Structure 1
Amino acid sequence: MHEAFLVARILPFRPAPSPYPALDYLVPLPFSSEIQRGRRVRIHVKQRRMEGLVLDLFPLKESKFQNLKSLDEVFPSPALDEKQINDLESVARFFGGRLSNTLDLALPSRVKNVESRPWEDQKWSGKNEAALCNLLKEASGLYSGLSSLTQSLSNFENQSFVWDLAQKRGNIFECLALLGLLSKKLGYSFLACLPSDRFFDQAKNVFSTYGLDPLFVGSSLGKAQNYASFLSCCKGGAIALGTRRAMYLPMKDPCLMVDVNALGQAFTDGMAPYANVRDVLSIRHKNRGGIRISISYCHAAEQEKWLREKTALHIFPSSPAPLRPVCFSRDRLLEMGDRFVHLPSLLVEELRKNGNEGKKSLLVCPAGSDITLFLCPKCSAFMRCKCKGSLKSKGKGIFCSRCRKRQNEWVCYKCGATIPSYGLVALKRGPEHVKEELKGLLKEKDLKNVDVSLASSIDQRPYSLVAILDAWLSFFSLNLDAESKVLNSWMEAASLASEKVILIGEGQKELLSSFEGWNYVFPAWDLEEKRKAGMPPFRTALNIWGAEKEVQKSVEEVLKVLKAPEGEFEVMGPMPIPNSEECLCVLLVSLPFADGLGEAVASVSHLRSASGAHFWIDPYCFGCR
Structure 2
Amino acid sequence: MGAERVAAEVDPVARVLPMLPLAHLDREFDYLVPRELEADAQPGVRVRIRFAGRLVDGFIVSREATSDHQGKFGWLERVISSERVLTAEIAQVVDRVAERYAGTRADVLRLAVPPRHAKVEAEPWELGEPPPAPEPIENGWHLYRFGDAFLSAIRESKSPRAVWQALPGENWPLRLAELAGAVAASGKSAILVVPDQRDLDRVVAACTELSGADAVVGLSAGLGPAMRYRRWLAALRGTARIVVGTRSAVFAPTPETGLVVVWDDGDDNLSEPRSPYPHAREVAVLRGYVAGCAVVIGGFSRTAEAQVLVDSGWAHDLVATRDVVRAHAPKITALADSDQALARDPGARAARLPAIAFAAARRALGEGNGVLVQVPRRGYVPTLACGKCRAPARCRRCNGPLALPAAAGPDGAGTPACRWCGVADAAYRCHACGAKALRAVVVGAGRTAEELGRAFPGVKVVLSGGGDVVKELPHGPALVVSTVGAEPVMTGGYGAALLLDGWALLGRPDLRAAEETLRRWMSAAAMVIPLSEGGEVVVVADSGIPTVQALVRWDPVGHAQSQFEERDEVGFPPAVHMAAIDGGSAAIAELVESAELPASAVLLGPVELPAGERLPYSGEDESGVAPERMLVRVPRKDGRGLADALAHARAARSARKSSGPVRIQIDPRRIG
Structure 2 SS opposite 1:503? strand
Instruction: Give the corresponding residue for 1:486.
Output: 517
Larger mean CA deviation between 606-615 and 595-604 belongs to: 606-615
Larger mean CA deviation between 515-524 and 306-315 belongs to: 515-524
Q: Deviations over 1:323-368 (max 9, x none)?
A: 2311125997754323562111332243344444432111011267
Instruction: Give the corresponding residue for 1:506.
Output: 542
> Do 1:352 and 1:446's aligned partners in 2 also have CA atoms closer than 8 Å?
no
Instruction: Give the corresponding residue for 1:532.
Output: 569
Larger mean CA deviation between 140-149 and 269-278 belongs to: 269-278
> d(CA) in 2 for partners of 1:346 and 1:534?
40
Instruction: Give the corresponding residue for 1:241.
Output: 244
Q: How big is the alpha-carbon RMSD for the aligned residues of Structure 1 and Structure 2?
A: 3.5
> d(CA) in 2 for partners of 1:46 and 1:211?
51
2:200 paired with 1:200: yes
CA apart distance, 1:413: 0.9
Give 2:34's match in structure 1, choosing from 28, 38, 50: 28
Structure 1 SS opposite 2:48? strand
> d(CA) in 2 for partners of 1:307 and 1:60?
46
> d(CA) in 1 for partners of 2:121 and 2:589?
50
CA apart distance, 1:183: 0.6
Pairwise mapping of residues 38-53 of structure 1 onto structure 2 (< 5 A)? 38-45=44-51, 50-53=56-59
> d(CA) in 2 for partners of 1:541 and 1:328?
37
Instruction: Give the corresponding residue for 2:8.
Output: 3
> d(CA) in 2 for partners of 1:527 and 1:114?
47
Instruction: Give the corresponding residue for 1:183.
Output: 183
CA apart distance, 1:18: 10
> d(CA) in 2 for partners of 1:18 and 1:198?
41
Instruction: Give the corresponding residue for 1:142.
Output: 143
CA apart distance, 1:477: 4.4
> Do 1:160 and 1:311's aligned partners in 2 also have CA atoms closer than 8 Å?
yes
Q: TM-score when scaled to structure 1?
A: 0.87
2:233 paired with 1:231: yes
Larger mean CA deviation between 495-504 and 63-72 belongs to: 63-72
Give 2:646's match in structure 1, choosing from 601, 604, 607: 601
CA apart distance, 1:60: 7.4
> d(CA) in 2 for partners of 1:147 and 1:355?
38
Give 2:393's match in structure 1, choosing from 383, 391, 399: 383
Unaligned runs of 5+ in 2: 1-5, 407-412, 463-477, 530-534, 612-618, 621-625
2:179 paired with 1:168: no
> d(CA) in 2 for partners of 1:394 and 1:540?
42
Label 1:20 to 1:283 Cα distance change in 2 as closer, same or farther (>3 A). closer
Instruction: Give the corresponding residue for 1:302.
Output: 305
Instruction: Give the corresponding residue for 1:443.
Output: 457
Structure 2 SS opposite 1:592? helix
Structure 2 SS opposite 1:168? coil
CA apart distance, 1:279: 0.9
Number of matched residues? 607
Give 2:605's match in structure 1, choosing from 570, 573, 589: 573
> Do 2:40 and 2:79's aligned partners in 1 also have CA atoms closer than 8 Å?
no
> d(CA) in 1 for partners of 2:577 and 2:318?
27
2:347 paired with 1:346: no
Label 1:620 to 1:165 Cα distance change in 2 as closer, same or farther (>3 A). farther
Label 1:143 to 1:109 Cα distance change in 2 as closer, same or farther (>3 A). same
Structure 1 SS opposite 2:309? helix
Label 1:370 to 1:112 Cα distance change in 2 as closer, same or farther (>3 A). farther
Instruction: Give the corresponding residue for 1:85.
Output: 91
Amino acid at match of 1:337: P
2:586 paired with 1:549: yes
CA apart distance, 1:303: 2.0
CA apart distance, 1:301: 1.8
Instruction: Give the corresponding residue for 1:267.
Output: 270
Structure 2 SS opposite 1:589? strand
Give 1:459's match in structure 2, choosing from 471, 477, 488: 488
Structure 2 SS opposite 1:433? helix
> Do 2:543 and 2:549's aligned partners in 1 also have CA atoms closer than 8 Å?
no
> d(CA) in 2 for partners of 1:84 and 1:603?
23
> Do 2:32 and 2:73's aligned partners in 1 also have CA atoms closer than 8 Å?
no
> Do 1:160 and 1:313's aligned partners in 2 also have CA atoms closer than 8 Å?
yes
Label 1:101 to 1:140 Cα distance change in 2 as closer, same or farther (>3 A). closer
Q: Deviations over 1:488-527 (max 9, x none)?
A: 2212211111221111113664433332222322122222
Give 2:332's match in structure 1, choosing from 325, 337, 358: 325
Amino acid at match of 1:3: A
> d(CA) in 1 for partners of 2:605 and 2:389?
40
CA apart distance, 1:542: 0.6
CA apart distance, 1:210: 1.6
CA apart distance, 1:308: 2.0
> Do 2:305 and 2:574's aligned partners in 1 also have CA atoms closer than 8 Å?
yes
Q: Deviations over 1:436-478 (max 9, x none)?
A: 2223322033546100111212222221111111112112445
Instruction: Give the corresponding residue for 1:429.
Output: 443
Structure 2 SS opposite 1:505? strand
> Do 2:46 and 2:60's aligned partners in 1 also have CA atoms closer than 8 Å?
yes
Structure 1 SS opposite 2:270? coil
Label 1:314 to 1:61 Cα distance change in 2 as closer, same or farther (>3 A). closer
> d(CA) in 1 for partners of 2:389 and 2:36?
80
Amino acid at match of 1:459: P
Instruction: Give the corresponding residue for 2:220.
Output: 218
2:318 paired with 1:315: yes
> d(CA) in 2 for partners of 1:456 and 1:314?
26
2:430 paired with 1:412: yes
Instruction: Give the corresponding residue for 2:660.
Output: 612
Amino acid at match of 2:255: K
Identity of aligned residues (%): 22
> Do 1:552 and 1:574's aligned partners in 2 also have CA atoms closer than 8 Å?
no
> d(CA) in 1 for partners of 2:544 and 2:107?
40
Label 1:296 to 1:205 Cα distance change in 2 as closer, same or farther (>3 A). same
> Do 2:373 and 2:482's aligned partners in 1 also have CA atoms closer than 8 Å?
yes
Pairwise mapping of residues 356-367 of structure 1 onto structure 2 (< 5 A)? 356-366=366-376
> d(CA) in 2 for partners of 1:534 and 1:376?
39
> Do 2:376 and 2:483's aligned partners in 1 also have CA atoms closer than 8 Å?
yes
CA apart distance, 1:53: 1.1
Label 1:515 to 1:212 Cα distance change in 2 as closer, same or farther (>3 A). farther
CA apart distance, 1:533: 2.3
Label 1:65 to 1:433 Cα distance change in 2 as closer, same or farther (>3 A). farther
Amino acid at match of 1:390: P
Amino acid at match of 1:73: V
CA apart distance, 1:540: 0.8
> Do 1:262 and 1:492's aligned partners in 2 also have CA atoms closer than 8 Å?
no
Structure 1 SS opposite 2:260? strand
CA apart distance, 1:102: 0.3
Structure 2 SS opposite 1:444? coil
Q: TM-score when scaled to structure 2?
A: 0.81
> Do 1:510 and 1:521's aligned partners in 2 also have CA atoms closer than 8 Å?
no
> Do 2:101 and 2:277's aligned partners in 1 also have CA atoms closer than 8 Å?
yes
Label 1:312 to 1:33 Cα distance change in 2 as closer, same or farther (>3 A). same
Label 1:47 to 1:393 Cα distance change in 2 as closer, same or farther (>3 A). farther
Larger mean CA deviation between 19-28 and 273-282 belongs to: 19-28
Unaligned runs of 5+ in 1: none
> Do 1:301 and 1:523's aligned partners in 2 also have CA atoms closer than 8 Å?
yes
> d(CA) in 2 for partners of 1:508 and 1:535?
25
CA apart distance, 1:557: 3.1
Structure 2 SS opposite 1:144? coil
